[in-house]
Amino acid sequence: MDYLPNVIFAIALLLGIGFFVSNVLKLVRNIKLGKDLDRSDNKLERWKNMARIALGQSKMVSRPIAGFLHIVVYIGFVVINIEVLEIIIDGLFGTHRVFQPLLGNSIYGFLIGTFEILAFLVLVAVIIFWLRRNIVQLKRFMSKEMKGWPKNDGNLILYFEIVLMSLFILMNATDYSFQQAGFGNPISQFVAPWFSEYSLETLSSIEHKAWWAHIIGILIFLNYLYYSKHLHILLAFPNTFYANLQPKGQFNNLSSVTKEVRMMMDPDTDPYAIPEEGAEEEIPEKFGASDVTDLNWVQLLNAYTCTECGRCTSSCPANMTGKELSPRAIMMKTRDRLEEVGRNIDSNKGTFKEDGKQLLNDYITPEELWACTSCNACVEECPIDIDPLSIIMDMRRFLVMEQSAAPQELNMMMTNIENNGAPWQYNQQDRLNWKDE
Amino acid sequence: MNVPTMAEMMSQGKKPEVLFWVGAAGSYDDRAKKITRAFVKLLHKANVDFAVLGTEESSTGDAAKRAGNEFLFQMQAISNIEILNSYEVKTIVCTDPHSFNTLKNEYPELGGNYEVYHHTQYIKKLVEEGRLEIKKSLKGKQVTYHDPCYLGRGNGVYESPRDIIRKLGVQLKEMKQHKNRALCCGAGGAQMFKDAEKGDKEINILRTEQALETNAKIIATGCPYCNTMMTDGVKFHEKESQIIVKDIAELIAEADNL
């Protein structure tokens, strides 16, 4: 019976990690529903991008308050997780603070002391985050796409962090011998006196429960990620690695279109040619995107990575002037639809069963798409290089090339370009008149 | 004005050092034509051996592409590239950041490889080479600069325009949102050619408000579409007597009484 706690711990750990891994596999499968896109070039540049933007948080600080607080939580999160290693060893082998004798009081104390200070700073930062979302009511957290679940999701993550950090401090504060040793308790020493009336057994029992709650909490949080907007803590790394490295003004040229245009413009093609006997009839490729499976995998990775901070939307000129368009909502809707498609595949034995829905119209409306000025402010703002503009453009392409559904004025503009090489109705022969006016 | 075309040049067996891509706005829009002429004056002043395509120039296809019509874009691009390559064009300068971006970034994959300059970059180059001098005739004047999206965020060109504006001796006053965080004028992405979607304000009006907050006397920019949008914004606020909208090329040409 002595080993029961160790066995329970091992089972909890396996379940927690196993469930997480199965969800990650699902996530990878969903991302791979996207079209191929080669982003294997420029490896060095990509590693640098990831180091600078994800690891180094370089784009976060463009908004100093949120940026600074986020860095506190980020460093706290990464560093305090070293402690999880000790917790896992202690849990599996029934040891208690296994690193303490190994590292010696001064080094161990320094480490745990650092964790405590960070845990305290994270607590403060997270409380400020909560105030910004709920009391100060920052505009970007009040948009209409942030009502309901997205709002609760954001708060839930903050509560998780508050509880986990508090449990860590509590665990240390109620560890009698740890407090007696007096190494590495810069924060918990102020909490310990609250329990000075308690017997050693009660203390030990509280410590024990806090320890268990802490590690179970971490496992639950790990598994909550997949269902929340919080995946960015993992996906920010691949997302910045695979981000677009070309100038932002450059939009991709559709190679399927190039093929057709070249054929059309080639004087040697015979428009009446009969396809050769036995030649496979080519199904013409769909132009642009009307559903998530028409987008490429990087765009789908972007959708999972978005943590709904709303910097994009708060800098979008269309959104700032009251239009329907919100780049954040574009990402959220793309993810919602992708998850719907994923669930459909899960419940239909691995194949997608037509559900009569698509990203266009059922999630994203043409009104949103046509409000975009393609100014790249959203792309520039995103702290982890998400590109909502590329999705907007691909969907416009579908509207125009597959459905001829451009706004009337744009159709006129395009007719003019076709007929006289300018977006307005001027005669091409007058193109040089300016020099004599 | 003496503006040779590539065809004329070719018939004389000559190849200019640079092709000036005028663009649709620069060719037809009354306001933008003034920018075109101002820039040509600068090219003359600096003795640049240049030519235009004239009636052989056609839309780059930028607006069609941003509107979602990749077909029309590539048809325009491929036929433009045929003409440019037949004249063996190596260097292009544009007064429109949209043409600049498309020619520079989107044409190479379709077979058009050129060294492409925005006119503010080209003017800076001429100054550095000692071919053009910018007169400090706007000494102390308060000027704000509006970053065109396709020049700034689109291609990371923030300093060339500012450098040559400063050479006018002006006091450069930045708007609240500038450089990589500049607010769009509202014309990009083919918005120039359609009404805005339902909202509570026009983008150009918001951007003009930011410019007015600087108390500058001149809004300088480097894009004919931004110019139109900002001019309309100034009119909307009835501030025409306080602030004017000018292209950087115009400011430099006027500084030298060209």
- A43, pLDDT greater than 60: yes
Dist CA A389 CA A189 (whole Å):
51
Give B246's strand partners.
Answer: B220
Task: Please provide the average confidence, as pLDDT, over all residues in chain A.
Answer: 94
Largest CA distance in chain B: 57
Chains A & B: contacts with CB separation below 8 Å:
217
Report the share of chain B in percent with pLDDT over 70. 100
Buried b (16+ CB within 10 A) or exposed e, B26-52: bbbbeebbbbbbbbbbbbebbebebbb
- Among B149, B138, B134, B164, CA closest to B100: B149
Assign A3 a pLDDT band (cuts: 50, 70, 90). confident
Dist CA B230 CA B216 (whole Å):
14
Report the pLDDT value the prediction gives residue B172, as an integer from 0 to 100.
97
Could you read off the pLDDT of A77-121 as tens digits, one per residue? 888 888 899 999 999 998 999 998 999 888 999 999 999 999 999
CATH of domain B134-255: 3.40.50
Could you read off the pLDDT of B37-72 as tens digits, one per residue? 999 999 999 999 999 999 999 999 999 999 999 999
Report the pLDDT value the prediction gives residue A278, as an integer from 0 to 100.
59
Report the pLDDT value the prediction gives residue A285, as an integer from 0 to 100.
80
Strands B142-145 and B171-172: parallel
Report the pLDDT value the prediction gives residue B29, as an integer from 0 to 100.
97
Could you read off the pLDDT of B142-159 as tens digits, one per residue? 999 999 999 999 999 999
Distance from CA of B205 to the nearest CA of A (A): 9
Dist CA A235 CA A299 (whole Å):
13
| CB < 8 Å to B80, chain A | none
Report the pLDDT value the prediction gives residue A279, as an integer from 0 to 100.
57
Could you read off the pLDDT of B88-123 as tens digits, one per residue? 999 999 999 999 999 999 999 999 999 999 999 999
Token representation of residue A313 = 């939307």
CB distance from A191 to chain B under 8 Å? no
Instruction: Give DSSP secondary structure letters for A29-93.
Output: HHHTTSBP----S-HHHHHHHIIIIIIS-TTGGGSHHHHHHHHHHHHHHHHHHHHHHHHHHHHHH
- A437, pLDDT greater than 90: no
Q: What is the mean pLDDT of residues A23-29?
A: 97
**Partner residue opposite B57 with nearest CB, options A424, A431, A437:** A431
> How many residues would you count in chain B?
258
Residues of A numbered 236-275 whose beta carbons fall under 8 angstroms of chain B's beta carbons: which are they?
246-251, 253-254, 257-258, 260-262, 264-265
Q: What is the mean pLDDT of residues A295-319?
A: 98
Could you read off the pLDDT of A361-403 as tens digits, one per residue? 999 999 999 999 999 999 999 999 999 999 999 999 999 999 9
Could you read off the pLDDT of A217-233 as tens digits, one per residue? 999 999 999 999 999 99
| CB < 8 Å to A398, chain B | 68
Say which DSSP state B105 is in: I
CB pair distance less than 8 Å for A248 and B154? yes
Report the share of chain B in percent with pLDDT over 90. 98
Dist CA A173 CA A193 (whole Å):
8
Question: Whole-model pTM?
Answer: 0.95
CB pair distance less than 8 Å for A367 and B198? yes
Q: Are B223 and B148 in contact (CB under 8 A)?
A: yes
CB pair distance less than 8 Å for A431 and B101? no
Could you read off the pLDDT of A203-215 as tens digits, one per residue? 999 999 999 999 9
Distance from CA of B145 to the nearest CA of A (A): 17
A286-425 to CATH, choices 1.10.3720.10, 1.10.1060.10, 3.30.420.40, 3.30.360.10:
1.10.1060.10
Question: Most B CBs within 10 Å: which of A245, A403, A417, as the mutation test of the B interface?
Answer: A417
Report the pLDDT value the prediction gives residue B258, as an integer from 0 to 100.
87
Domain boundaries of chain A, sorted by first residue: 4-241, 286-425
- Where do you find CATH 3.40.50 in chain B? 6-126, 134-255
Assign B181 a pLDDT band (cuts: 50, 70, 90). very high
Q: Which residues contact A115 (CB under 8 A, 6 or more apart)?
A: A79, A80, A82, A83, A168
- Three-class secondary structure of residue B145 per DSSP: strand
- A29, pLDDT greater than 70: yes
Could you read off the pLDDT of B182-217 as tens digits, one per residue? 999 999 999 999 999 999 999 999 999 999 999 999
Report the pLDDT value the prediction gives residue A283, as an integer from 0 to 100.
67
Report the pLDDT value the prediction gives residue A277, as an integer from 0 to 100.
63
Report the pLDDT value the prediction gives residue A181, as an integer from 0 to 100.
87
- A269, pLDDT greater than 60: yes
| CB < 8 Å to B175, chain A | none
Token representation of residue A174 = 């109620």
- A271, pLDDT greater than 70: no
Q: Which residues contact A221 (CB under 8 A, 6 or more apart)?
A: A160, A164
Report the pLDDT value the prediction gives residue A81, as an integer from 0 to 100.
83
Q: What are phi and psi of B88, to 5 degrees?
A: 50, 45
Distances (CA, A) of B6 to B11, B18, B23, B75, B103: 9, 10, 15, 22, 18
Distance from CA of B155 to the nearest CA of A (A): 5
User: How far is the first Cα of chain B from the last one, in angstroms, to the nearest whole number?
Assistant: 12
- Compute how many other C-beta atoms are within 10 angstroms of the C-beta atom of residue A197: 7
Dist CA A180 CA A189 (whole Å):
10
Overall CATH class of domain A4-241: mainly alpha
Question: Most B CBs within 10 Å: which of A244, A260, A321, A370, as the mutation test of the B interface?
Answer: A321
Give A360's strand partners.
Answer: A364
**Partner residue opposite A265 with nearest CB, options B68, B78, B105:** B78
Question: Most B CBs within 10 Å: which of A248, A294, A369, as the mutation test of the B interface?
Answer: A248
Strands B50-51 and B91-94: unpaired
| CB < 8 Å to A400, chain B | 67-69
Dist CA A29 CA A23 (whole Å):
10
CATH topology of domain B6-126: Rossmann fold (3.40.50)
Assign A322 a pLDDT band (cuts: 50, 70, 90). very high
